[in-house]
Structure 1
């Protein structure tokens, strides 16, 4: 690491020690909770944007779907698991489905897979609809992020083809672009198999709440709304362009008559990004990818041309593995040390900045946001167009709790912290530590990476202990982090 962090509370005073010992426990089991909550809320309230003449504008692509939420362990029978859990890039049979689900379940890892067996997929949907707690809602990265931006006061343009029924899930203030007038649209359906922390599936127990997503999409892999969104971008003139939903291309059969349609569509995504003025910030939302060819396309056609990337800990490990070694990492630690995640963020930043130069990109990566169960970490280049990094980390943390608990109220009796009283900022130097202060929970410091000064902020998450929603959490968290960082 080039440059040591400035320690927050750099001298661990007697008062801080006294605080850590005396206030360790209260009625909620952890005396830090109340102070953490109050300061996170203070940072959020003091840094509101998105109103009046200062209302920023965001355009988002691509796609939408119906999400069918299902209790995973109610739908699937562990007795159907023949042999050991196993990873498959593409699901073709019930046996592969059960093995794949168990593989990610035992790691508590989020996953998203394409099922090429349409008949089996339809059968699973029918079975799911017979369960008493299954439910429908709108899905897709772009619509979920669009709803969050709208909720936070932004003006929103959404690129997605959807039926009238699906459009009814979208708030009235969001402008939807994608289908032709009068066009009949058949919505894609995604199955969201949710499970809670410590739930059991046969001999396996999940270390955390998460979800396994299965899809059999026809529209979303082709990015069918791309051209329509492009037609409306000049008049809309967004401050921020969000690229998402590209994981729908994962393992989809694209090649026709020797032509790689996926590469062609991604070239059009690149052109859409480059068609925007340089002061229009571009953000790429990562997801669960296993198709190496697609990932390599992303590292040449999309990632070198955006200003910002957002992802969870699994996606970060996968991205750095592809960037460094050209290999896919299917599962990573579901609760990584802060030092480990920060080192991966630094390496990702350095490699992508090299790619910016290699591909002659006028845009440079100036922001990385990684969201995990326990913390939010945001890296921004100093004096770039990204503002209020500290407040953004706080807002992302609060949004994680609110969304997963499905409430606007931060309930301390449904919260816990996983962060210790201090953490290393890198695995290379154990002397480089930041002491966690409950009254000032968001730790920020400066570093120098490849001659670029960067800010890094880490905010603890008040983890929701009674998870109501898991799918879509990352989209809401990423959008919330962006909300405070863009100025019109």
Structure 2
């Protein structure tokens, strides 16, 4: 269903024009109707560096391999090679603090390395703010890090008297077709490395919760829980800390009124126990989930088979993603019924390189699914190209002229019309009528940014779906 010659693709202009029309016809309310979003948890400094300049492939001993956490330079090299050759995003904890600090020093000496605001919640918060929302952000951060965030965003998480040492994440970026020794990246992506002390404990949770009642959010976003993945909570003989913190997240969700929608942002997880905690305590208690293609595959495997999928096809078929979305919807809705959850899953957003797919329950509070898919697609291009303009000269489409809606039958096909590029239809899942919309992405062919793309895309997909 993929690749066609961009030079021969006359679909680009009509696709762009129609997506822009959908965006401009659907705007965010303002004044008394301005929507409010509260986002937790955590923040960090992102240090961007060219991966192939920092890492030397000749130092690698052995074949590419997945590691749950990184403790040596060789494990880093082999882990990076594993994801690089698949063009897959990854995020890993480095348990060797001395090695991590040395790598940060090396990165700072490389040309082109730069600092930026990091963390799912802050990046999504900034996107909501730019789109016209009122924003409450939960995270402990230094005054320097706060300076990266627009002043109108209210930040809570500390009393301002503490001397806070920000966590640092290293963003090892690479471009499509870039080579590293014998390996070639099939797409632009990033490998994130961290040695966090603050974010894994979601230390802003309690203060964030204190501000929620007065803020009265229309939407609450839960993110950043991947910082708990493989973190050594056993230090100091403290047992059960992670599960206890996740249970507190659940209690915070329970405390929200039905008028507040709750979204959970997936991320790169490899520790099965953590994923099981999330699928037991958090995911069955939210209204919405957002994820990329790899996170979709991973969540599907955990729910269906009870195991972890560490890497997935970087360009999955639409039919495959839709089947996974349907199965996840059914499995979580079954959990909703079994647990008699106060909330039921009513929305799933999957963003991939080639397309945006959003599933919403028709009778739910989620609105404007078609426009949301279009906005998410446009945001993907704008963010990765680091521009406000959508240029067809810097775009390509990977979707072909039609796609199957399921792998179970090739007769259910949607024909791609450039003048109406967002395809929407209705189905019945678990006795619920759902709307499914698929929008093509005008893929940026001159990628400037990769880390943070998913956060911006997910936020953009939510921006038009909540009406106050």
TM-score normalised over the length of structure 2 = 0.98
Q: Which residue of 1 aligns with 2:311?
A: 331
Q: Partners in 2 of 1:88 and 1:270 — Cα distance?
A: 29
Partner of 1:214: 193
1:39 corresponds in structure 2 to 18
1:319 equivalent in alignment to 2:319: no
Aligned CA distance change for structure 1 residues 49 and 258 (closer, same or farther; 3 Å): closer
8 Å CA contact retained: 1:28, 1:412: no
Q: In the TM superposition, what is the alpha-carbon distance from 1:129 to its structure 2 partner?
A: 0.2
Aligned to 1:158: 137
Q: Deviations over 1:268-314 (max 9, x none)?
A: 00000010001200000000000100000000110000000000000
Deviations 1:204-260 (A, max 9, x none): 100000000000000000001000000000000000000000000000011353621
Give 1:189 shift. Answer: 0.2
SS of residue in 2 equivalent to 1:112: strand
Conserved 8 A contact 2:6-2:397 = no
What residue in structure 1 maps to residue 271 of structure 2?
291
Tell me, what secondary structure is at the counterpart of 2:410? coil
SS in 1 for 2:406: coil
- Whole-angstrom CA distance in 1 between matches of 2:336 and 2:9: 45
Distance 1:265 1:26, change over 3 A: closer
Query: How far apart, in 2, do the equivalents of 1:93 and 1:104 lie?
Result: 17
**Equivalent position SS for 2:160:** coil
Report the Cα distance in structure 1 between the residues aligned to 2:296 and 2:199, rounded to whole angstroms.
23
Assess if the C-alpha contact under 8 Å between 2:246 and 2:281 holds in 1.
Answer: yes
Q: Aligned ranges for residues 43-442 of structure 1 at < 5 Å?
A: 43-255=22-234, 257=237, 259-442=239-422
* Partner SS state of residue 262, structure 1: helix
CA–CA separation in structure 1 for the residues paired with 2:273 and 2:440? 35
Q: 1:447 aligns with which of 407, 413, 427?
A: 427
Question: Does the 8 A contact of 1:28 with 1:413 survive in 2?
Answer: no
1:309 aligned counterpart, secondary structure: strand
- Aligned 8 A contact 1:405 1:466 in 2: yes
Seen in structure 2, the aligned counterparts of structure 1 residues 226 and 117 have a Cα distance that, compared at 3 Å, is same
Q: SS at 2:247's partner residue?
A: helix
Give distance in 2, aligned partners of 1:181 and 1:245: 22
Give the aligned CA root-mean-square deviation in angstroms. 1.2
Conservation of the 8 A alpha-carbon contact between 1:310 and 1:368: yes
Q: TM-score, normalised by structure 1?
A: 0.94
Distance in 1 separating the partners of 2:419 and 2:444: 20
CA contact (8 A) 1:50 1:152 kept: no
Deviations 1:112-137 (A, max 9, x none): 00000000000000000000100000
Please give the alpha-carbon distance, in whole angstroms, between the structure 1 residues aligned to 2:166 and 2:428: 47
1:48 partner SS: coil
How many pairs are equivalent? Answer: 465
Partner of 1:460: 440
5+ residue gaps, structure 1: 1-24
Q: C-alpha displacement at 1:81, in angstroms?
A: 1.4
Matches of 1:451 and 1:67, distance apart in 2: 44
Q: Secondary structure at the match of 1:453?
A: strand
Q: Does 1:476 align with 2:456?
A: yes
Three-state SS of the structure 1 residue aligned to 2:409 is: coil
Separation in 2 of the partners of 1:47 and 1:347? 30
Cα offset, 1:51, TM superposition: 1.5
Aligned partners of 2:6 and 2:396 also within 8 Å: no
